Amino acid sequence: MIKNMFRRGAVTLGATAMAVTALAGVAHADRGVAYIKPGQHSKAVACVQQGLRNAGYSIDVDGLYGNATYAALTDFQHNRGLSADGIVGPKTGDALYYGYLQPSGNLPQIEFCPTVIPTTR
C-alpha cells in the first residue's frame, strides 16, 4: 500500500515537473511587437518615420502612416534587398533601428523605439 502511494506520488511529481517546465518556457516567451502597416497612427510609426529621416528621407515625423511614409519605406526596403511591401516586420525593423535609430545617439529613440518596432534581437 505504502509502496503504491510512493509510486503514485512519484508519477504525479514527475508529471507536475514536466508541466511546469513546459509552461515556464511559454510564460517567458517574447510575444514580439506588432508589425507596422499603412493606415496606422502611433508612436511606433513615429519611430519608423524618424529612422527613415535618419536614413535621408524627407518625411514628417507625425506618427501617421500615410502615402509619404509608404513611399519612403518601400524605397528603403527595396534599396536594402528587403521585401518592399511597406510593412515593418523584424528585418525592416532591424535595418531601421540598428542602422539608423541606435547610431543616432538620441537617447529617447534608442530606449523607446525598440519597444514598439519589431526587431529580431
**What confidence tier does 121 reach under pLDDT thresholds 50, 70, 90?**
confident
pLDDT, one tens digit per residue, over 23-78 is 333 222 235 789 999 999 999 999 999 999 999 999 999 999 999 999 999 999 99
Instruction: Please indicate, yes or no, whether residues 26 and 75 belong to a single structural domain of this protein.
Output: no
The stretch 15-26 carries a mean pLDDT of 37
Backbone CA torsion sign across 73, 79, 80, 82? positive
Q: Is residue 38 in some structural domain?
A: no
Q: Is the pLDDT of residue 83 over 60?
A: yes
61 lies in the same domain as 11: no
Domain count of the fold of the chain: 2
The pTM score is 0.74
Residue with cell 510593412: 87
- Asked if residue 36 is part of any domain, the answer here is no
Together in a domain, 18 and 49? no
For residue 22, the enclosing domain spans 1-31
C-alpha cell at 14: 514527475
Distance separating alpha carbons of residues 83 and 98, to the nearest angstrom:
18
User: Is residue 14 a part of any domain in this protein?
Assistant: yes
